[in-house]
């Protein structure tokens, strides 16, 4: 199963620190420019605080609080811990943070369609949806989702962010599930050591 901390290490590289770019729609709440900090948008912070946030509250948002919000609002709420492959989980989690959960649901639906699977966007992060994701070849799934996200970025009118968005995707690398391959070398070493011990006897 995927681990939040491992995915957050990668996502955190793209979501570090405060920014208040007036061209970024995620920096506004109720028409007021609030900014974003540690990957927490103004609307997300408003939901967490229960009131319209101020620039000061966003600017001084503790990193630990931001990570707690990310884990609760994006990772746990969407069942990402049930995804088998860590790379796939990171690609999806990063997308949920960057595109929004609903936006990422639509991209999952599009990605699955290219692989000839049908899943309604609202089912994407349910246990049923995650079960389907886990049944698909993990490498093909990873790159189908990556391509869907790339296309989303390239179709955006905010071309000034394109290079950064694409660099963000490239930071997420695919690795096969190593639960078996990680055990195998250890097993070989144990057998080899035992054999040497017998030879020595």
pLDDT digits (tens, 9 = 90+) for 24-47: 888 999 999 999 999 999 999 999
Domains of the chain, CATH where assigned: 4-176 (1.20.141.10)
User: For residue 83, what are the contacts with CB-CB under 8 A and spacing of at least 6?
Assistant: 1, 2, 89, 92, 130, 133, 134
Q: Give the pLDDT score at 16.
A: 82
Cβ pair 92, 114 in contact under 8 A: no
pLDDT digits (tens, 9 = 90+) for 6-16: 999 999 999 88
Percent share of the chain, pLDDT over 90: 83
> What are 28's strand-pairing partners?
33
Going by C-alpha positions, the residue among 20, 45, 50 that lies closest to residue 34 is: 20
Report, as ranges of residue numbers, the positions in the chain whose pLDDT lies below 70.
Answer: 178-201
d(CA 27, CA 43): 8
């Amino acid at each position: 199963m995927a681990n939040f901390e491992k995915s957050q290490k990668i996502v955190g590289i793209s979501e570090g620190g405060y920014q208040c770019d007036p061209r970024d729609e995620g920096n506004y709440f109720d028409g007021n420019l609030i900014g974003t900090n540690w990957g927490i948008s103004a609307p997300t912070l408003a939901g967490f605080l229960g009131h319209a946030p101020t620039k000061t509250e966003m600017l001084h948002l503790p990193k630990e609080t931001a990570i707690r919000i990310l884990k609760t609002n994006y990772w746990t709420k969407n069942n990402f811990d049930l995804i088998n492959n860590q790379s796939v989980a990171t690609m999806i989690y990063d997308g949920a943070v960057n595109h929004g959960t609903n936006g990422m649901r639509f991209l999952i639906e599009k990605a699955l369609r290219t692989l000839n699977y049908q899943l309604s966007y609202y089912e994407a992060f349910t246990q049923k949806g995650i079960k389907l994701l886990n049944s698909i070849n993990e490498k093909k799934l990873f790159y189908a989702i990556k391509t869907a996200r790339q296309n989303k970025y390239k179709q955006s009118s905010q071309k000034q962010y394109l290079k950064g968005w694409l660099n963000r995707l490239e930071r997420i690398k695919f690795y096969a599930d190593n639960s078996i391959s990680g055990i195998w070398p250890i097993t070989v070493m144990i057998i080899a050591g035992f054999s040497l011990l017998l030879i020595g006897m």
